Amino acid sequence: MKAFQALISRDLKLAFRAGGEAMTLVLFFIMVGVIVPFAIGPDRPQLTRLAPGIVWIAAFLSMLLGLDRLFRSDDEDGSLVLLRHSVLPLEAVVAAKVIAHWLVTALPLLFATPVLALLLSMSWEQWGRTVLALLIGTPALVSFGALGAAVTVGLRRGGLIAPVLILPLCIPIMIFGVGMLDPMAGGGATLFLIALSLVVTAFSPLAAALALRAAGE
């Protein structure tokens, strides 16, 4: 457990020292939200209606953008080989990295959502539900992202393939995440999203570790 915490704090330290990557991601997240009204027009009721979907798409794209650095730098400087032979099983290493990655890339987005809520004229209630949905759904997104990153870690041109592979798998998260805002079926969607997120977060470190082992052989 100590090694697990040490690994998380190492990744957090690395992320903060590397400087500003989390901030850049937040900037990108907000920019996607800013771009959309230019594309669909500044009609406020329409924006209100589309806002949760826009926020989800912005979160999706930001997660995909930050995904490549999950294992890539560790693979390049050789620390991934060391981690494979550490006291922790590789599955736990992946889980620790997923948690750290979530703290660095997904949590800041949640704090940036009020800006988007304001710009897209969301109601407070709508905003609260969207944040809740993102809070439940983003661990699953990061877990799928970890799988995509693990599968493409050995590829020099893997940057584009990982998003293409995991996007179809993420569709259910998107569906239930946006579905949570439906006044009629929102409760069911919340339960489905929680179940999905738990299952995905629990199982994807296993698959990702398997892929990392196969890539390292």
Q: Check binding of 172 to another protein (CB under 8 A).
A: yes
Q: Which stretch binds another protein (CB under 8 A): 75-83, 99-107, 122-130, 161-169?
A: 161-169
Q: Which of 196, 197, 201, 205 is close enough to bind another protein by CB under 8 A? A: 196
Instruction: Give me 73's structure tokens.
Output: 């730098």
Instruction: Give me 47's structure tokens.
Output: 């924006």
Asked if 58 and 137 touch (Cβ cutoff 8 Å), the reply is no
3-state helix, strand, coil in the chain (%, to 5): 85, 0, 15
Q: Check binding of 171 to another protein (CB under 8 A).
A: yes
Q: Which stretch binds another protein (CB under 8 A): 6-14, 99-107, 121-129, 159-167?
A: 159-167
Question: DSSP character for 102?
Answer: I
Q: Check binding of 81 to another protein (CB under 8 A).
A: no
Q: Check binding of 67 to another protein (CB under 8 A).
A: no
Which lies closer to another protein via its Cβ, residue 39 or residue 184?
184
Instruction: Report, in angstroms and rounded to the nearest whole number, the Rg of the chain calculated over CA atoms.
Output: 18
Q: What is the dihedral of CA 7, 104, 167, 119, to 10 degrees?
A: 170
CA gap 102, 84 in Å, rounded: 21
The residue ranges that bind another protein (CB under 8 A) are: 147, 151-152, 154-155, 157-158, 161, 164-165, 167-169, 171-172, 175-176, 179, 182, 184-185, 188-189, 192, 196, 204, 207, 210-211, 214-215, 217
